[in-house]
Each structure stands twice: as structure tokens, then as C-alpha cells.
Amino acid sequence: MNTKILRELILDQKDRFEREDALENFVPRTALHKVGEYLKLPHILVITGMRRAGKSTLLKQIKKRFYDSETIYYFNFDDERLVNFTVNDFDLLYETFIEVQKKSNVFFFDEIQNIAGWEMFVRRMYDNGFRFIITGSNSSMLSRELGSRLTGRYMSIELFPFSFEEFLCFKNIGCPDVLLTQDRGLIKNAFNEYLSDGGIPEYLMYKNEDLLAILYENILYRDIFARYNLNDESSLLELAHYLFSNYSTEISYNKLRSMLGLGSVNTVKNYLKYMENSYLAFTIPKYDYSIKKQVYSKKKVYVIDNALINAVSFKFSKNRGNILENLVFVELKRRYKDIYFHKGQNECDFLIRKKYDIVEAIQVTTNLKNNRTRDYKGLLEALNKYKLDQGYILTEDEEYEEVIDEKRIIVKPVWRWLLDR
């Protein structure tokens, strides 16, 4: 790697990192609290998330809050000028940092997964007392590389698009503990906007749907098609479009294989895994005590952000129930690791598992006026099956509690549940 290019890159990126640091205009990410807890440890901090979810901005906030008076070495590997950069160039990069900046033992590495073998340099420097905060847009590749050489030496945080709490902050809307009529009106109006516009920071700032289309294409072509060396572009694009047109519904691997004209179900599984690794779309299984049955059962599919649905498929005015369910899933994904759905004689949208037990059941519906019997039956069936005392039905605006067959049913607006922590 050419030293002159590295020097120019370091200075250029440092200038942008600091010049764009108008932090008064940045929404403080709730992840900062967890960052603060993890920085008390000597471990490598790994931040993963979808492109444009705000990882680079979070690095700026980490710098401001925890390293404001210190020199750090920032470098973004998502740059076309680094096409010839290899793992062997890391030492040269470090030497160039020392040459152009004050000495530091803290590295901020952005989009590190673009450099094969990066974990070898990080491990060696970590063992010599250096601190690393790194970001990446591919959870699987980072996990594999961290697991191979850095087991037990890192802590990880997943960053999603804005939560509703962060969206309210973006809109300069406060959320007092006691909501007056005016407060409720502002928050409910903001929720309707959040339901359709999602939480991708750049889109919320400029409201240009071309940004969403470009983001979608970048994830498919750069983070999936190119990274995994695929050779069937049309099948990948068709599958992605199908998922974005059928969010919050059940899918079958065999049906998708047949629809796409693929020879193997494994290809469908791989494509879905690649999308999940890149934070584009997710599947959850039907819960079963048999792991084998879970693996082979149908799945439900969800996508990362509601605004992308409009940009990729079609307007969702007639699918408000599905879009509401998708929003709830993304929030559950922020909060929990193991999410399932229940299906017996009736269906319950979400089950939360902690360790070996189901601990929560959640049903989502626009309103209970037309769906009360179905939603109650599904929730009560799940509560009885998994021996839970209470469960949630999340709606657009209804709020009350009642006890049925000794089970506590909590009906709550989605917007209020989103703000519960």
C-alpha cells in the first residue's frame, strides 16, 4: 500500500470525522449507555448494524463522550482508494498514524469487515494494551472472525435504525413521565409518522426516497452479492422483493425454492441468512420444544425498516396491521435475542425466550373491534401452553387490562409500549 495514499486518507478522514461533528444536531443514541458499561472493560468493542443505521455517527458520539480530550486513530475502510489494502498493510497504517498524529493507543476502525484477516492485527495490538472500537455491516463475518482469534476478548452491540424514543428526540418532542392531552397528541402524531417513515437517520433528515433505493441496492450488491461471490443476481433480487412485499407473513423454503426456480432449498436458506447478516430482512421460527421441528417449520419474515417497504415494494396503506407488526418485531429485535411465534389451533405473533423458557407472549393488531375473538384466542392459547400469567395485546390506540381464565391481558397502544423500558 502506498504510504502517501494512507497519509492522505488519514488526514482526509480525520478532517471529516471532526468537521462533521456538529453533535448538537445528532440524536444521542440509547446505545451509548451500554457503550459506557463496556468501556469499563479492557475488551474490544464491536458495533454491528445495517448500512446507514448511524454507526459512524455513534463513533463520533463515543469520541465526544468518552475520549473528548484524547487523541484517537480513526480510519474508515469503506473507501475505494483502499482496494489494494491487505492485512499486511496494518503495520504501515499504524506507522503512518504515528507520523501524522499524536501517539495514541485507541483505534476507531469503521467497516472493518472489508479487510480480510483484520482480526490478526487487532489481536496482536490488543495483547499489547491497545483499545479497539470497531464497526461492521455484516454480523456473521465479524462473529466468525472474532470467534476464531478473539474469543472472550470482545463485547458486541447491535445498532438498529432509530427507536421511537430516538425518533421523538430527532423531532424535538419530549416524553414526560405524566402525559397530558397535548403530550399524547404530539406523541401519537409522531408515531403515525414513525410508522411510515421508519428510523433511518439519513432518510429522516432529507426525506428523499432515492436514498432508500440506493441503500437497498448497496446492501444487496455490495454486502451480499459481491461479498458472498454469488452468480445468480436475478434470484437474489427476486427473493428480496418478495420478502419486502410479504413482510409479517409466513414463508416456506420449498415454496421460495420453487418460485425462484432454484435447485436446492439450501440456496434459499443461504440467501436468507445473507440478508439477515446484512440486517436487511429477518426470519423467526415457530416455537417448538423440538429443535429439529423448529428448523424445518415455516418461518415468518420481517424487514429492517418500514420506510424501505415503501421504497422497495408498494405503499402499505391497506396493510396497516402488517406494518404495525413489523414495527413491533424490529423493537423486539433491539431488546431480545430469541424471538419466535406460536401456532397451534390459533396463532400468537411473538414469543420471547430467555435461556430455556418462554417468558413473554405478545399479540399485535390494529384494533380489537373486528379481531377480538381471534387475538384473544391466540394469546390465551400461548399463555396456557407456556404457563404464563400475563400477556400483551398491542393495538393502535386501545388501552385497558382484564383477567380471563386467571390470565392477565394487558392491552396497550404500540406507541406507549415502544416507550416502556
Write the pLDDT tens digit of every residue in 7-30: 999 999 999 998 755 554 689 999
260-270 confidence digits (pLDDT tens): 998 899 999 99
Residue appearing with cell numbers 456473521: 140
Q: Please give the order of strands across the beta sheet that includes 347-354.
A: 338-343, 347-354, 357-364, 390-395, 407-413, 400-404
227 strand-pairing partners: none
Contact present, 332 and 248 (Cβ < 8 Å): no
**Integer Cα distance of 248 and 34 in angstroms:** 30
Cell numbers of 320, please? 396497516
- With a cut of 60, say whether residue 317 has pLDDT above it: no
For residue 113, CA distances in Å to 77, 157, 211, 229, 331 come to 8, 15, 23, 15, 26
- With a cut of 80, say whether residue 274 has pLDDT above it: yes
For 15, counting Cβ atoms within 10 Å of its Cβ (0-12 exposed, 13-18 middle, 19+ buried), the class is: exposed
Q: What is the mean pLDDT of residues 351-378?
A: 92
363 strand-pairing partners: 393
- Identity at 110, one-letter amino acid code: D
- With a cut of 60, say whether residue 395 has pLDDT above it: yes
159-201 confidence digits (pLDDT tens): 999 999 999 999 998 776 666 667 788 999 999 999 999 999 9
List, in order, residues 6 or more apart from 5 with CB less than 8 Å away.
81
**Integer Cα distance of 246 and 352 in angstroms:** 23
Closest Cα to residue 383, out of 350, 415, 338, 416? 350
pLDDT for res 158: 94
Q: CATH assignment of 3-159, given 3.20.20.60, 3.30.9.10, 3.40.50.300, 3.40.50.2300?
A: 3.40.50.300
- Identity at 418, one-letter amino acid code: L
Helix/strand/coil for 3: helix
Q: Which of 130-134, 278-282, 369-373 has the lowest mean pLDDT?
A: 369-373
Q: What is the mean pLDDT of residues 129-141?
A: 87
Closest Cα to residue 163, out of 190, 135, 199, 131? 199
CA 216 to chain centre: 14
**Integer Cα distance of 163 and 170 in angstroms:** 10
List, in order, residues 6 or more apart from 326 with CB less than 8 Å away.
247, 248, 302, 303, 306, 309
Q: What is the mean pLDDT of the chain?
A: 91
Cell numbers of 315, please? 405503499
Domain ranges (residues) in the chain: 3-159, 230-418
Cell numbers of 37, please? 458499561
**Integer Cα distance of 397 and 402 in angstroms:** 16
Closest Cα to residue 109, out of 120, 100, 122? 122
**Integer Cα distance of 227 and 70 in angstroms:** 35
**Integer Cα distance of 126 and 361 in angstroms:** 42
Contact present, 349 and 343 (Cβ < 8 Å): no
- With a cut of 80, say whether residue 280 has pLDDT above it: yes
Q: What is the mean pLDDT of residues 298-305?
A: 96
- With a cut of 70, say whether residue 312 has pLDDT above it: yes
- With a cut of 70, say whether residue 408 has pLDDT above it: yes
End-to-end CA distance of the chain: 48
Contact present, 412 and 367 (Cβ < 8 Å): no
